[in-house]
Amino acid sequence: MIVPTAPVAPTTPMRGPLAKLERLVERLHGAVGTITLQLLRERGYSDVRVFASARSAGKQLGGTTVEEATPDALSAGDFDLCLFSVGTSASLELVPHAVHGGAVCVDKSAAYRLEPGIPLVVPEVNGIRAAEHQGIVANPNCCAIPLTCALKPLHDAVGLERIRVATYQSVSGAGAQAMERLRAQTPEDNDLRMDWSFDGVEFDEEEKLREETRKILELPALPVSATCVRVPILVGHAEAVWIETTEPVSAEQATSILGAAPGLRLEQFPTPGGAAGGDDVLVGRIRKDTTAENGLALFIVGDNLRKGAALNAIQIAELLLAQQRVAA
């Protein structure tokens, strides 16, 4: 339930389902924070306050003066809803202050995603869970979001037995500085990277993809095997997915199921270039995997900064407000 804690008249009229909210706060961090601000503007939210570290405080960002994110500022009770995009350790430090001040926080870091009792939400997949929050709703990993958008309708129709996934993740997933490095390098410098922390067996990105997919789909024992790599592309995460289903499903049936699912758009050959800048998760290359009983293969691509992060978080916020409206 979102209840304005310090009603202030919006400075200019807002439109859309967040119009009742008096305050939004976004603490910026690199590429995702910038996209969040852009999407909020596009969707008509004009009364937005932007917070960052002391280093960035006072700077102008899109006509807004950046404020310093201090515990006092966040806990003062001025905010209905906070969107955090600050990384795990800063989220662990700052989010509780905003919750204490009465805000509902949508957190894009990994800090709370697997915490029992904290909803991990993709609105098209398990939006109903958002209402169970105790002040925090977690936004999933940028590959788990598009993957679960594609898996959920298949699970509902024919059941899931096993998932294998290989990702091709763009450098924007590593932040704005990584994008600058790619822009500055020559094609000869381009290479795959694996720039996540490694435990000797797998990268934490692969663990996140497995565990978050299980939590979102509420299938805690689902076998999920992931291999993640980063490719020299600016925006757009692609995933090759091999699925084993409980019931047999033809490529034509799977295409029809996926084509009717929310948030997905069928494309014969989805690419990061085709997904970048858009809201849909693109799904294509849908075909039988003849190496497995009831095997299905497909290829999905999403804009990791939008649906993979900023857009999903805003959709969660809009869902929270819609749920409040239904209850009112």
Residues designated catalytic: 142, 237
Min. distance of Cβ 205 from ligand 2RA in angstroms? 6
Cβ-based nearer residue to ligand 2RA, 123 or 308 = 308
Number of residues assigned to the chain: 328
Question: Closer to ligand 2RA at the Cβ: 141 or 148?
Answer: 141
Do residues 308 and 239 touch, judged by C-beta distance below 8 A? no
Nearer to ligand 2RA, 75 or 109 (CB): 109
* Shortest reach from residue 137's CB to ligand 2RA, in Å: 17
Give the residue among 59, 80, 74, 71 at the shortest CA–CA distance from 17.
80
We find the least distance from the C-beta atom of residue 145 to ligand 2RA, in angstroms, to be 10
Give, in order, the Cα–Cα distances in Å from 72 to each of 96, 97, 101, 112.
Answer: 11, 8, 9, 22
Of the two residues 14 and 86, which places its CB atom closer to ligand 2RA in the complex? 86
| Smaller CB separation from ligand 2RA, 169 or 315 | 169
Query: What's the min distance (Å) between Cβ of 209 and ligand 2RA?
Result: 9
4-26 core/surface letters (b: 16 or more CB in 10 A; e: else): eeeeeeeeeebeebbeebbbbbb
Residues that bind ligand 2RA (CB under 6 A): 141-142, 169, 173-174, 205, 304
Contact 229, 209 (CB under 8 A): no
C-alpha 22/C-alpha 68 separation (Å) is: 20
Beta bridge partners of 26: 50, 83
- CB-nearest residue to ligand 2RA: 173
From the CB of 169, what's the least distance to ligand 2RA, in Å? Answer: 4
DSSP string, 252-303: HHHHHHHHTSTTEEE-SS--HHHHTT-SSEEEEEEEE-TTSTTEEEEEEEE-
Q: Which is nearer to ligand 2RA, 60 or 197 (CB)?
A: 197
The alpha carbon of residue 166 and the mean position of all alpha carbons in its chain are separated, in whole angstroms, by: 18
Q: Taking the alpha carbons of 169, 170, 176, 177 in that order, is the dihedral positive or negative?
A: positive
> What is the spatial distance between Cα 319 and Cα 328, in angstroms, rounded to a whole number?
14
- In the complex, the smallest distance separating the C-beta of residue 113 from ligand 2RA, rounded to whole angstroms, is 11
| Contact predicate 38/85, CB 8 Å | no
